[in-house]
C-alpha cells in the first residue's frame, strides 16, 4: 500500500482588506480529505473559494469559520477526497475529438478482415464524406502481423480517397485514389526525414512514414472552424469527465491555432489549454509562420513544436543501435541540425520556448545540442522534450543545467508493450521511458498520455502504469523505472504546471491559485491499484463543470 500523507495542523489564509471582504462572495468546501499537492500544506479539511474563482484560504475548518464568520454557500463533502485538477501535459485534444466525431476509430481492431469491414461500414454510413479517414491501426495486435496496404484499401473503396493513420500517427496508408489526387507515384521524391515504402518490384505499398505523410495529408481539405469547434469541445467534455482541467495540445497548424483563439475569445473553452504551433509541417520544407504569443486564463500559445524523430511503437524513433530483426535499421531522424537550430532560434528570439518530440538516442542528442545553443541566446526560457525514450548521463546533465521538463507517457507501456518487445533490443527494455531516472536527478517530470496515440487516456490507468510498469497483459517493462503514487500525482499536477510555466497559477490547491479541483470516489493513497479511481466532480474556477451520474 502506498504511504498515506500525514496531515499538518496548519491553515493558509490570505490577509486582505476588510473593506473588500465585505463585498466578496465566499463559499466554504468542508469536511473533505483535501490533498493539496502543496508541500507547505500537504493536507487540509476545508477551503474557501472567492467569487474570482480562486482559493481564498485553505486548512482547518474551525480556523476558516473563525476567520470568515459566514459564507454565501457551504458544501459538505462527507470525507471525500479532493485533489487539484489533473493536467495532461501532452495530448492531441482536437484529434481526440476528431475520433469522437468525424473519423473512424480502429484502435483495438484484431485483423485486417475486421478492419476492412469497419472501413466499409463507415464509408456506407458517411456517403457525403469526400475523404474517408481512419486512425488506430496497430499491426502488432492484428492476426496478420502486418499493416494494411493500398491493395487492402482498394478492395473496400475505390471511388473516394482513403487515408488510414497508424495508432502512433507516424505512419499512414493511402488507397490508390488518395495517391492519385496527391500526384504521388513511384517517381515521387521522398522528403528528408520520411519514407515512401515500396515493394521489391518498385511499386508503391501505399505506406508513408514521418515527413512523407504530408504528401497525402496536405491534400486533405482543411477543417472549417465549426468542425474544429465540434472536435475540441467534444474532447473537452470527455477530458472533464476524467478530471482533466488543463491540457497541452502539442502540434497545431495555423487553422487550428486560429480556432483555439476564436473559441477562447468567445468564452467557449472548457479546459485550460496550452497549445504548441508547429514550425515545420510534414511533407514540406516550408516553415510555418511564427504566430503572435497569446495568453489568457484558458489559452496559452508561447511554445513552438518540432519533431526530431519518429515513434517507438512504429520502430521509426532514431536509436543508437539497430532495431530487432532488421538489417541495421535505426529509425528516422527527421531534422538536421542547421534547419532545426535556425528555425528554433527565430522563435527563441521572439520569446518562445521550444518543445521537441524526441524519443530515440540520436533524436534526444540532437535536440539537446540545439537547446544548448539556444540556451546561450536566452538562458531564461525553459524548454522541454516530449516523450524522452532514453537518457544518457550527458543528457541528464543537460536537462539539469537548462532546467528543462521531460513530458513522458508511461501509458505507452500499458498499451504498446508488444510493439516494444518485438522491436527493441533487450538491453533497452529496462530503461525505456525512464521516469525514475528523471526524478532521481531532480528533473521536472510532467505526465501525459499522448492520446489518441493510445486509446486509454484515463489518468489513473496512466498513474498505475507509472507505479507498476505493467502492460495490459500483466508483463512488466522497465522494473527499475517504477515511481510512487505521490510522485506520479505530482507529475500530473505540479509537474505539468511547471511544464506550462504556470505553477504560480495552478498545479496545487494553494491560496491565490485557480480553484481547479476534482472530487474522487476513493483516496488513491489507500489503494493497492489506483486504476479504479474515478472522478465524481470536476471544478474549474470554482464552478462545477462535470458531475458523474451515479
106 & 78 share domain:
no
Cα–Cα dist 388/377, whole Å: 24
210 & 100 share domain:
yes
113 & 7 share domain:
no
Band of pLDDT at residue 22, cut at 50, 70 and 90: low
pLDDT digits (tens, 9 = 90+) for 234-278: 999 999 999 999 999 999 999 999 999 999 999 999 999 999 999
Q: Could you say which of 175, 195, 217 is where a domain stops? A: 217
pLDDT digits (tens, 9 = 90+) for 50-80: 999 999 999 999 999 999 999 999 999 999 9
206 & 115 share domain:
yes
In a domain, 487, yes or no: no
117 & 203 share domain:
yes
136 & 184 share domain:
yes
- Percentage of the chain with pLDDT > 90? 91
Cα–Cα dist 550/541, whole Å: 24
208 & 115 share domain:
yes
127 & 147 share domain:
yes
Number of other residues whose CB lies within 10 A of the CB of residue 222 = 11
Which residues fall within 8 angstroms of residue 432, CB to CB, at 6 or more apart?
312, 389, 390, 413, 420, 424, 477, 478, 481
DSSP strand pairing (194-198 vs 162-166): unpaired
Instruction: Say what the pTM is.
Output: 0.90
Helix (H, G, I), strand (E, B) or coil at 462: helix
In the structure grid, which three cell numbers stand for residue 433, read together? 521511458
Q: Which range of residues forms the domain containing residue 12? A: 1-85+509-550
In a domain, 53, yes or no: yes
126 & 81 share domain:
no
Overall domain count for the chain: 2
Q: How many helices (H) and strands (E) are present in the chain, helices listed first? A: 18, 27
Element (H or E) spanning 119, and its range? Answer: helix 112-125
The pLDDT of residue 23 = 62
pLDDT exceeds cutoff 90 at 24: no
Quick one: average pLDDT of 394-415? Answer: 98
102 & 26 share domain:
no
Band of pLDDT at residue 20, cut at 50, 70 and 90: very low
In a domain, 242, yes or no: no
pLDDT exceeds cutoff 80 at 81: yes
Which residues fall within 8 angstroms of residue 347, CB to CB, at 6 or more apart?
279, 290, 304, 354
Q: Could you say which of 182, 217, 252 is where a domain stops? A: 217
Q: Could you say which of 166, 184, 217 is where a domain stops? A: 217
DSSP strand pairing (543-547 vs 535-540): antiparallel
Which segments of 177-224 are extended strands (E)? Answer: 194-198, 204-210
Cα–Cα dist 476/473, whole Å: 9
Q: What is the CATH number of the domain that holds 40?
A: 2.30.40.10
Q: What is the CATH number of the domain that holds 134?
A: 3.10.310.70
482 touches 468 (CB < 8 A): yes
Cα–Cα dist 370/376, whole Å: 10
Side-chain-side CA neighbours of 80 within 13 Å: the count stands at 18
Grid look-up 467569487 returns 51
79 & 104 share domain:
no
64 & 48 share domain:
yes
Closest CA to 27 of 50, 6, 59: 50
533 touches 520 (CB < 8 A): yes
Q: Which residues of 154-183 are buried (b: 16+ CB within 10 A; e: fewer)?
A: eebbeebbbbbbbbbbbbbbbbbbbbebbe
In a domain, 384, yes or no: no
The pLDDT of residue 17 = 36
First-to-last alpha carbon distance for the chain, in angstroms, is: 28
Amino acid at each position: 500500500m502506498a504511504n498515506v500523507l500525514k496531515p499538518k495542523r496548519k491553515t493558509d489564509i490570505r490577509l486582505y482588506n476588510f473593506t473588500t471582504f465585505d463585498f466578496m462572495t465566499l463559499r466554504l468546501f468542508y469536511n473533505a480529505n483535501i490533498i493539496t499537492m502543496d508541500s507547505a500544506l500537504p493536507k487540509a479539511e476545508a477551503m474557501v473559494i472567492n467569487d474570482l474563482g480562486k482559493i481564498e484560504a485553505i486548512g482547518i475548518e474551525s480556523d476558516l469559520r473563525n476567520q470568515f464568520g459566514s459564507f454565501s454557500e457551504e458544501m459538505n463533502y462527507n470525507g471525500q477526497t479532493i485533489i487539484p485538477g489533473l493536467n495532461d501535459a501532452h495530448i492531441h485534444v482536437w484529434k481526440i475529438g476528431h475520433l469522437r466525431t468525424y473519423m473512424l476509430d480502429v484502435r483495438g481492431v484484431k485483423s485486417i478482415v475486421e478492419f476492412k469491414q469497419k472501413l466499409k461500414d463507415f464509408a456506407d454510413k458517411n456517403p457525403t464524406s469526400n475523404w474517408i479517414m481512419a486512425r488506430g491501426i496497430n499491426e502488432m495486435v492484428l492476426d496478420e502481423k502486418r499493416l494494411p496496404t493500398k491493395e487492402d484499401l482498394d478492395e473496400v473503396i475505390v471511388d473516394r480517397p482513403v487515408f488510414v493513420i497508424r495508432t502512433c500517427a507516424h505512419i499512414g496508408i493511402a488507397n490508390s485514389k488518395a495517391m492519385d489526387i496527391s500526384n504521388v507515384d513511384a517517381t515521387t521524391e521522398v522528403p528528408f526525414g520520411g519514407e515512401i515504402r515500396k515493394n521489391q518490384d518498385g511499386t508503391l505499398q501505399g505506406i508513408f512514414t514521418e515527413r512523407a505523410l504530408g504528401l497525402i495529408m496536405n491534400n486533405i481539405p482543411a477543417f472549417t472552424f465549426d468542425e474544429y469547434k465540434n472536435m475540441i469541445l467534444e474532447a473537452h467534455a470527455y477530458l472533464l469527465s476524467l478530471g482533466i482541467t488543463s491540457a497541452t495540445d502539442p502540434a497545431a497548424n495555423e487553422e487550428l491555432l486560429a480556432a483555439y483563439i476564436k473559441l477562447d475569445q468567445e468564452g467557449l473553452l472548457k479546459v485550460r489549454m496550452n497549445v504548441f504551433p508547429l514550425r515545420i509541417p510534414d511533407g514540406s520544407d516550408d516553415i510555418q509562420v511564427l504566430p503572435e504569443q497569446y495568453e489568457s486564463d484558458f489559452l496559452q500559445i508561447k511554445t513552438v513544436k518540432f519533431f526530431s524523430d519518429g515513434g517507438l511503437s512504429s520502430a521509426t524513433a532514431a536509436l543508437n543501435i539497430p532495431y530487432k530483426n532488421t538489417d541495421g535499421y535505426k529509425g528516422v531522424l527527421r531534422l538536421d541540425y542547421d534547419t532545426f537550430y535556425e528555425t528554433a532560434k527565430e522563435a527563441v528570439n521572439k520569446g518562445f520556448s521550444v518543445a521537441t518530440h524526441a524519443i530515440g538516442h540520436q533524436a534526444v542528442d540532437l535536440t539537446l545540442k540545439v537547446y544548448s545553443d539556444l540556451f546561450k541566446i536566452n538562458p531564461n526560457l525553459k524548454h522541454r522534450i516530449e516523450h524522452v525514450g532514453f537518457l544518457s548521463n550527458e543528457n541528464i546533465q543537460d536537462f539539469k543545467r537548462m532546467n528543462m521538463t521531460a513530458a513522458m507517457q508511461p501509458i505507452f507501456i500499458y498499451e504498446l508493450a508488444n510493439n516494444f518487445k518485438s522491436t527493441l533490443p533487450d538491453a533497452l527494455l529496462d530503461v525505456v521511458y525512464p521516469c525514475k531516472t528523471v526524478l532521481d536527478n531532480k528533473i521536472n517530470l510532467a505526465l501525459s498520455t499522448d492520446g489518441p496515440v493510445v486509446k486509454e487516456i484515463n489518468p489513473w490507468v496512466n498513474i498505475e502504469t507509472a507505479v507498476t510498469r505493467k502492460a495490459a497483459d500483466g508483463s512488466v517493462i522497465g522494473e527499475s523505472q517504477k515511481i510512487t503514487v505521490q510522485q506520479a500525482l505530482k507529475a500530473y499536477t505540479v509537474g505539468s504546471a511547471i511544464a506550462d510555466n504556470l505553477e504560480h497559477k495552478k498545479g496545487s490547491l494553494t491560496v491565490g491559485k485557480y480553484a481547479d479541483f476534482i472530487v474522487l470516489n476513493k483516496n488513491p493513497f489507500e489503494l493497492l491499484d489506483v486504476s479504479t479511481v474515478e472522478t465524481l466532480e470536476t471544478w474549474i474556477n470554482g464552478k462545477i463543470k462535470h458531475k458523474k451520474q451515479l
